């Protein structure tokens, strides 16, 4: 990144370094914030946030004190002037995002001809267009890769077909996590999704039912002695299938 100059409320603020490590000229920052003695400000800063930089000026090379982002925020906090808040918002909301997105502001140098300025601008524009195109292609590729998973999730979550816990265990195994029926039942009991004892053993807890993850099917059977036996079968709803697959596969990754 070349040396950049940006104007805040009539005051020039010079920025050097790279988009990943921006450095601000301390004297410029102090002027914006009405801090009259940059040397005193520098002495109050934490170690490692300031350094010396050789700057190219109209009068030749000049050694200046520069501060990194941490140092910049420390200096802003030193000022009680009303413009301090505006300056911080300007830096964080305009300067930093623009530099990191496009590599910096384009600043016309005094020795450049109109043709040179235009040529440099075209190079920057072309670079920006190529970057945006690359980001768009990457986003499209990611969406296409996720599309089958999204369609599967939508289809299952809206399906009226519930499945047995054993069938869910097979689905989970097919997606990369070895899981048998007994192991899945045990995990659901230990994590409070199914009852642990008595008449409610392996039946969904109230917590699970309220969230729509399970349903219980009742069936009556006639015994040889004439009595009626009721059996209850726990099944996982479409919503529950998505929830448990996402949770278990996520924990395993």
What does the pLDDT average to over 37-42? 91
Could you report the per-residue pLDDT of 163-175, keeping only the tens digit for each? 999 999 998 888 8
Q: Would you state the pLDDT for residue 118?
A: 64
- At residue 196's C-alpha, the angle toward residues 193 and 197, to 5°, is 145
Residue that the structure tokens 């502001």 belong to: 105
77 and 16 in a single domain? The answer is yes
Highest mean pLDDT among 25-39, 83-97, 103-117, 128-142: 25-39
- Is 117's pLDDT higher than 80? no
192 and 175 in a single domain? The answer is yes
Domain of residue 172: give its range: 163-252
Number of domains in the chain: 3
- How far, in Å, CA of 103 to CA of 1, rounded? 7
- Is 4's pLDDT higher than 70? yes
Q: Would you state the pLDDT for residue 203?
A: 93
Domain boundary among 84, 105, 126: 105
Q: Would you state the pLDDT for residue 155?
A: 46
97 and 8 in a single domain? The answer is yes
For the sheet containing 214-222, what is the strand order? Answer: 163-164, 228-236, 214-222
136 and 202 in a single domain? The answer is no
- Other Cβ atoms less than 10 A from the Cβ of 1: the count is 15
Q: Look up residue 95 and give its DSSP letter.
A: I
172 and 94 in a single domain? The answer is no
149: which 2 tokens? 């998973």
141 and 191 in a single domain? The answer is no
10 and 95 in a single domain? The answer is yes
Pick from 218, 243, 252, 253: nearest CA to 168: 243
Q: Would you state the pLDDT for residue 213?
A: 94
Could you report the per-residue pLDDT of 84-116, keeping only the tens digit for each? 989 988 888 888 877 766 554 455 555 656 666
- How far, in Å, CA of 144 to CA of 44, rounded? 53
Between 39 and 159, the more confident residue is: 39
What does the pLDDT average to over 172-185? 89
119 and 49 in a single domain? The answer is no
- How far, in Å, CA of 161 to CA of 236, rounded? 9
What does the pLDDT average to over 30-35? 91
150 and 170 in a single domain? The answer is no
53 and 93 in a single domain? The answer is yes
Identify whether the C-beta of residue 24 lies closer than 8 Å to the C-beta of residue 88. no
- How far, in Å, CA of 176 to CA of 179, rounded? 9
182 and 147 in a single domain? The answer is no
pTM above 0.75?
no
Which band of pLDDT confidence, cut at 50, 70 and 90, is reported for residue 148?
very low
12 and 88 in a single domain? The answer is yes
Could you report the per-residue pLDDT of 186-210, keeping only the tens digit for each? 999 999 999 998 888 999 999 999 9
């Amino acid at each position: 990144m070349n040396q950049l100059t940006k104007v805040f409320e009539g005051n020039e603020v010079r920025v050097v370094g790279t988009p990943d490590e921006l450095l601000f000229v301390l004297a410029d920052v102090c002027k914006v914030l009405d801090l009259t003695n940059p040397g005193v400000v520098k002495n109050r800063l934490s170690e490692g946030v300031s350094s010396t930089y050789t700057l190219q000026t109209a009068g030749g090379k000049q050694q200046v004190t520069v501060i990194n982002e941490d140092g910049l925020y420390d200096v802003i906090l030193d000022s009680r002037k009303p413009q301090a808040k505006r300056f911080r918002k300007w830096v964080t909301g305009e300067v930093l995002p623009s530099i990191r997105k496009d590599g910096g502001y384009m600043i016309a140098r005094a020795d450049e001809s109109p043709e040179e300025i235009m040529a440099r601008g075209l190079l920057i524009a072309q670079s920006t267009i190529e970057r945006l195109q690359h980001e768009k292609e990457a986003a499209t590729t990611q969406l296409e890769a996720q599309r089958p998973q999204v369609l599967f999730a939508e289809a299952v979550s809206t399906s009226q077909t519930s499945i047995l816990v054993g069938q869910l265990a097979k689905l989970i195994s097919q997606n990369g996590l070895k899981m048998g029926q007994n192991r899945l039942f045990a995990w659901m009991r230990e994590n409070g999704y199914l009852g642990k004892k008595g008449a409610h053993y392996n039946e969904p807890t109230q917590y699970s039912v309220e969230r729509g993850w399970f349903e219980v099917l009742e069936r009556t059977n006639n015994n040889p002695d004439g009595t009626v036996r009721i059996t209850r079968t726990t099944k996982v709803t479409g919503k529950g299938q998505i929830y448990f697959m996402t949770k278990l596969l996520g924990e395993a990754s």
